[in-house]
Amino acid sequence: MKFSLPGVAAVAAALAAQGVSGHYIFQSLAAGSAKGTAFEYVRRNTNHNSPVTGDRSTDLSSPDLRCNVGGATGGSTKTLTLNAGDAFTFTLDQAVYHQGPVSIYMSKAPGAAADYNGSGPWFKIKDWGPDFSSGQAVWTMSDRYTSNIPRCIPSGEYLLRIQSLAIHNPGATPQWYISCGQVKVQGGGNTTPSPTASIPGAFRASDPGYTANIYTPDFKSYTVPGPAVFAC
């Protein structure tokens, strides 16, 4: 068998064709703290490069901000059944390595989560913002993020959306790392979650949490973009 050394461009093209890139993606969702299977309950993005960036990054009116490029429909994605109050975990292919907040949102599907494109109202159930207790910002940069379905929300099918907003490069446009899981919530309550926001619409280029320079000495507080976190 004969081997040749491919050029850098050929290697890059081969990696791109395999969907391998230097970026991270939230690729699995499972009950409890389990790791789960890649893209079983998470919609598969088609940009092969998790951040919604480049031309799209400045377009805060893009519907791709809902569930990433290619995530508008369920395709072969399955829907994970969880009880209200249950823990769930999103796992990445590699740990988040850009500073910035990680947030989880939900939006109730009119019918099946698999048929829903996320055009309805979204509410936020979790923020991981910076911890300033050491005197400087410490971000939660993990390969998995665990949270709970709020106990009081109505039963039904939902999109469960996780977002890493990468603000590591002040002056440049932040990058969005987004995935949507599909869940069926059972045993829920009667509380209508609020506040809600539309995506796109929830994020503005003027948001202090969008324009923040995390490297200045006076970076001592931070407001995560989007609506306030809903709690029962």
Ligand X SMILES: *[C@@H]1O[C@H](CO)[C@@H](O)[C@H](O)[C@H]1NC(C)=O
Question: Which residues would be at the binding site for ligand X (CB under 6 A)?
Answer: 63, 117, 119
Minimum Å gap between C-beta 120 and ligand X is 8
Residue 66 C-beta: closest distance to ligand X, Å: 8
Q: Which is nearer to ligand X, 45 or 147 (CB)?
A: 45
Considering the complex, state which of residue 117 and residue 140 has its C-beta at the smaller distance from ligand X. 117
Nearer to ligand X, 58 or 119 (CB): 119
3-state DSSP assignment of residue 126: strand
Beta strand 26-31 pairing with 80-83: unpaired
Element spanning 28, H or E: strand 26-31
User: Least separation, in Å, of the C-beta of 105 and ligand X?
Assistant: 16
The nearer residue to ligand X, 21 or 117, going by C-beta atoms, is 117
Say how far apart CA 177 and CA 163 lie, in whole Å. 6
Q: For residue 95, give the DSSP letter.
A: -
Tell the smallest beta-carbon distance from residue 62 to ligand X (Å): 9
- Smaller CB separation from ligand X, 56 or 168: 56
With beta carbons less than 8 A apart as the criterion, state whether 193 and 232 touch: no
Q: Which two tokens stand for residue 64?
A: 């791709």
Cβ proximity of 98 and 164 under 8 Å: yes
Distance of CA 136 to the CA centre of its chain: 25
Q: How far is the CB of 118 from ligand X (least distance, A)?
A: 8
- Of 69 and 84, CB closest to ligand X: 69
CA–CA distance, 48 with 80 (Å, rounded to integer): 24
* Min separation Cβ 72 and ligand X, Å: 6
Residue nearest to ligand X (CB): 117
Token pair in block for residue 123:
């509410």
Contact 161, 67 (CB under 8 A): yes
Residue 35 Cβ vs ligand X, minimum distance, rounded to whole Å: 31
* Tally of CB atoms within 10 A around 5: 6
Q: Name the residue nearer to ligand X (CB basis): 63 or 154.
A: 63
What φ, ψ does residue 54 adopt, rounded to 5°? 60, -135
